[in-house]
Chains A and B, each alone.
Chain A
């Protein structure tokens, strides 16, 4: 079974026509994981018996002529989603002993659809990072160049999809954690509009920004899976009720007359020339298919990183206060009184980046600083959102680089955390404004590392975004490239 060539649509057809069973398909992916995981570090947990028993149940369903688009399809889940009976670590020592007693809404949706849980993927600790270097379980390696990072925080999901260890993976995006690793690993990723995907059972980092999404080789694959991911859930107070939507049908809509907005601030200094060149070529493809380019302004975009590094740590410091070593999670071995037990358990359970952000959060929320930092950041957040809404009066979609450069080397960002934070400059604004965003592969740099093209749409425009991405992928084959195979003719 050559797993490099399949799309979700063809896998689904193969299962329905009994060309292969879900058990055989799952087994084939498990074998690939077995072969490559030691080298890449994509998965924290695989449990073949559990996966294969789900696959057999899917086969029984398919034999009865039942099931939907994902029945029998193996899916890798970011280890931020609680899955009943599965170790769910969030990349942290704090949860290194946490076997979830319940399913996240997202896991429940995939289980009900008959998808197979292929394993839990590695990630930056509590989703705080842009390189996967902060995981307690060690780094994930970029399948294109192992000395380079896969991006983060959903680096395990991205690398797994890129190396074709899974045909589809879940991920989450708080400041770029789906789009940036998708760009670095040369795959397609979508972060839906805030509120479309339930956060129930998705371990919280910054609740006003966190959003679940998907990664797969192509936009058509994402469209195939997205219907299962989105939907109203009363257990998430910010879940938005929307009419059910078919994301597959509109894929082939024309790009004729499409107005593509190019934010001036996304094409300036600081963007690697090779990234800029790949982007220009991508835009030419769109023009050749009838799209029109419009220059737009996002005047507050350079403030998105500072706003994010007030709001995200503030929300994190509050969300992560639940880890106290009392009810679940890591507890220190040696301690005196209760306070020492909690403070030491947290000191031992959290890694350096998580501690740094909790402390920053405590700082910006503390007496005397709350107005100046927290409220001021929320005000600038509104200005950033208004910039986007105004830009969408002149265009249908915004495009630009997902990241200023291709995947950097391990350790390249040095000891100053701000250098790492600034690499998310083009992705963070989307989360602050609650918009849907995608990254799709748009070529390679001279080192053979993938370049990502970012697409940003108005609220709830996922179907349109997927169609715009699909239109490009009909004209190019970057999304079909697989690491380790060299250039295709």
Chain B
């Protein structure tokens, strides 16, 4: 089902994944993808009729908790890690003129 992954579908994936690809990567990734997809395509041969997907090791329902504030405000501390901040806000290139 995945015989070909050409440069244009690779560009599409890179857009979905938000990763800029170099010319070199666009050149050699298709062969590596071909090999990986060859590996995972083996799953298509397996009869899984009636088998329920297993998302994690135990079929336990995820725990819920009360919607309460449990942490203190650490904005200044967290923002000290950011590349660019001003007035308590994270700065990025202007999106709206």
User: Which residues of B are found within 8 Å of A377, using beta-carbon distances?
Assistant: 40, 43
Known: A194-B57, A305-B39, A385-B54. A356 touches B63 (CB 8 A): no
Interface string of B61-95 (1 = CB under 8 A from A): 01101000000001001101111100000101101
Which A residues are CB-close (under 8 A) to B22? 347
Contacts of B10 in A (CB 8 A): 359
Closest to B21 in A: A347
- Return the chain B residue nearest A237 by Cβ: B62
B36-57 contact mask (Cβ, 8 Å, vs A): 1 or 0? 1111111110101001111111
Q: Are B13 and A363 in contact (CB under 8 A)?
A: yes
Interface membership of B23, Cβ < 8 A: no
* Residue tally, chain B, CB below 8 Å to A: 51
Question: For window 378-418 of chain A, which residues contact chain B by CB distance below 8 Å?
Answer: 378-383, 385, 415-418
A346 vs B21: C-alpha distance in the bound complex, in angstroms?
10
Q: How far is the CA of A310 from the CA of B39 in the complex (A)?
A: 10
With A309-B39, A347-B21 as contacts: A360 and B81 at CB distance below 8 Å: no
Contact A372 B51 (CB under 8 A): no
Residues of A within 8 A of B48 (CB): 376, 379-380, 383
Describe A's contact surface by its main secondary structure.
Answer: helix
- CB-based contact B32/A382 at 8 Å: no
- Residues on B with C-beta less than 8 A from A300 are 46
Question: In the complex, are the beta carbons of B57 and A380 less than 8 A apart?
Answer: no
Q: Is the CB of A195 within 8 A of B58?
A: yes
Q: Is the Cβ of A373 less than 8 Å from the Cβ of B56? A: no
- Could you tell me the distance between the alpha carbons of A321 and B81 in the complex, rounded to whole angstroms? 18
A324 in contact with B18 (CB, 8 Å): yes
Question: Is A344's CB within 8 Å of the partner chain B?
Answer: yes
Q: How many residues of A contact B (CB 8 A)?
A: 70
- Closest residue of B by beta carbon distance from A383: B51
Within 8 A of B (CB), among A284-306: 300, 303, 305-306
Cβ 8 A contact of A378, one of B14, B54, B90, B95: B54
Q: Does the CB pair A326–B19 fall under 8 Å?
A: no
Bound form: Cα–Cα A344–B93 in Å: 13
Whether A339 contacts B13 by the Cβ 8 Å rule is no
B20 touches A344 (CB 8 A): yes
Residues in A with CB closer than 8 Å to B25 are 352, 355
Chain B residues within an 8 Å CB radius of A336? 93
In the assembled complex, which residues on chain A have CB atoms less than 8 Å from the CB atom of B35? 416-418
Whether A326 touches B40, Cβ cut-off 8 Å, given contacts A355-B19, A356-B29, is no
**Of the 9-residue stretches A41-49, A172-180, A254-262, A327-335, which lies at the interface with chain B?**
A327-335
Q: Is A434 an interface residue (CB 8 A)?
A: yes
Contact of B56 among A238, A363, A366 (CB under 8 A): A238
Contact assessment for B53 and A326 in the assembled complex, using a CB-CB cutoff below 8 Å: no
For the complex, give the distance between the alpha carbons of A460 and B14 in Å: 41
Residue in contact with B83 in the complex, picked from A331, A346, A379, CB distance below 8 Å:
A331
Contacts of B20 in A (CB 8 A): 340, 343-344, 346-347
Contact B93 A309 (CB under 8 A): no
Determine which of B1, B14, B36, B84 lies in contact with A372 in the assembled complex, contact meaning CB atoms within 8 Å.
B1
With A238-B56, A383-B46, A417-B32 in contact, do A328 and B82 touch (Cβ < 8 Å)?
A: yes
Q: A359-B29, A383-B48 are in contact. List 18 more A-B contacts (CB 8 A).
A: A98-B81, A303-B42, A306-B41, A306-B43, A326-B82, A331-B84, A338-B92, A344-B20, A352-B25, A356-B29, A376-B43, A377-B40, A380-B51, A382-B51, A385-B54, A415-B32, A421-B36, A433-B57
Q: What are 14 A-B contacts defined by CB distance under 8 Å?
A: A195-B58, A307-B43, A310-B43, A327-B82, A331-B83, A337-B95, A338-B92, A340-B20, A356-B36, A379-B54, A380-B43, A382-B52, A382-B53, A383-B48
Chain B residues close to A by CB (< 8 Å):
1, 5, 10, 13-14, 16-22, 25, 29, 32-33, 35-44, 46, 48, 51-58, 62-63, 65, 74, 77-78, 80-84, 90, 92-93, 95
